[in-house]
Amino acid sequence: MNFTNEKLKKIVNVYQLDYINGKSHGFGDFLRGSFCFMQLAKLIGIEFDIDLANHPMSKYIENCRHTPGIDYSNIEKINDLNNDPNSFISYETKGQNIDKNFLNKMIDLLNSKDCEVFGFFSHAFPFYNKYSDEGKYLINSKLQPNEFMQNYINNTLSKIGLSKKGYGVIHIRAGDKYLVNNNEMNIDFIKKVKKILNSIKVPGRRYLILSDSNILKNQLKSIPNFYVYIRNIDHLGGELMKCHESNGVMNTMLDYYLMSYSNAIISLSVYGHVSGFSKYCSVLNDIPFNFIKIYE
């Protein structure tokens, strides 16, 4: 399938809470889809951009502007993933990930658009597990914290006694059942996490503990050289966000920015797949990254 649409000049992955056919997924999913369509745009020779202006997180981002030519009330969520649904976990170990059916379907979709700028949402897997400096610069340029957020970041680092690039991050996804549903945490699960952390920590090294569970963070703050702050966070995707008027969005962005200022990221998750929130933070900021599965 060849791209033949001479009218279409730019495609934009738009992150907001609602689309005409569903709600958005998490921020890491959005970043993943952005790299996918950035690679597709380069392949077919058109411009690519991202747009966060219609999402509550835009309140904390510098110069977050709407894109001319996009009707935000009529944006479609593309559900195709560019991967084998039976083996999507293996994507992280692949250098190349090209589903020809997905590629042809997306080119056919873009060929059908009678506009110069097409806005959509995608969380599809990139075609190549390699990311250009140009692409990273583009996305990072749209994620710069504004003055309010910069002050919040600096004040938080000062309060917990850390400096930028002077710590590693351990990011623990305990699961949406704790973040969204407020389930009680099993003591055996906490012991399991502690056992993993004690086996991987380097003596004398400082670690900032980030997690979707404040209960878990409270259980870990007594471990030497583990730095913990307790703030209420929220899922950034529309499908699971509790309240976009609370400080949860701001504190989740704080987690992201603090992770971006670390010198290493270790991601632990109960899910079989890598956390996109921490993985793409590492990609965008050239931070060493390791993933460990927590078996419940």
pLDDT exceeds cutoff 80 at 159: yes
Q: What residues does 209 pair with on adjacent strands? A: 170
- The segment(s) of the chain belonging to CATH 3.40.50 are 147-293
For 183-233, write each residue's pLDDT tens digit: 678 889 899 999 999 999 999 999 999 998 888 999 999 999 999 999 987
In this prediction, residue 244 has a pLDDT band, given cuts at 50, 70 and 90, of low
What is the rounded distance in angstroms from the CA atom of residue 83 to the CA atom of residue 286?
25
What is the rounded distance in angstroms from the CA atom of residue 183 to the CA atom of residue 91?
31
Q: Tokens representing 186? A: 């099993």
The closest alpha carbon to 270, from 149, 173, 179, 125, belongs to 173
For 1-57, write each residue's pLDDT tens digit: 799 999 999 999 999 999 999 999 999 999 999 999 999 999 999 999 999 999 999
In this prediction, residue 234 has a pLDDT band, given cuts at 50, 70 and 90, of confident
The closest alpha carbon to 174, from 130, 218, 136, 205, belongs to 218
What is the value of pTM for the model shown? 0.92
For 62-110, write each residue's pLDDT tens digit: 999 999 999 999 999 999 999 866 555 566 667 888 899 999 999 999 9
For 115-149, write each residue's pLDDT tens digit: 999 999 999 999 999 999 999 999 999 999 999 99
For 248-292, write each residue's pLDDT tens digit: 899 999 999 999 999 999 999 988 788 999 999 999 999 999 999
Domain formed by 147-293, architecture: 3-Layer(aba) Sandwich (3.40)
Do 72 and 119 meet the contact criterion of CB atoms below 8 Å apart?
yes
In this prediction, residue 157 has a pLDDT band, given cuts at 50, 70 and 90, of very high
Reduced to 3 states (helix: H, G, I; strand: E, B; else coil), residue 286 is coil
pLDDT exceeds cutoff 90 at 172: yes
pLDDT exceeds cutoff 80 at 179: no
Lookup result for tokens 């055996």: 188
* DSSP class per residue in 99-166: -HHHHHHHHHHHHT--SSEEEEEE-PPPSBS---HHHHHHHHHT--B-HHHHHHHHHHHHHHT--TTS
pLDDT exceeds cutoff 60 at 243: no
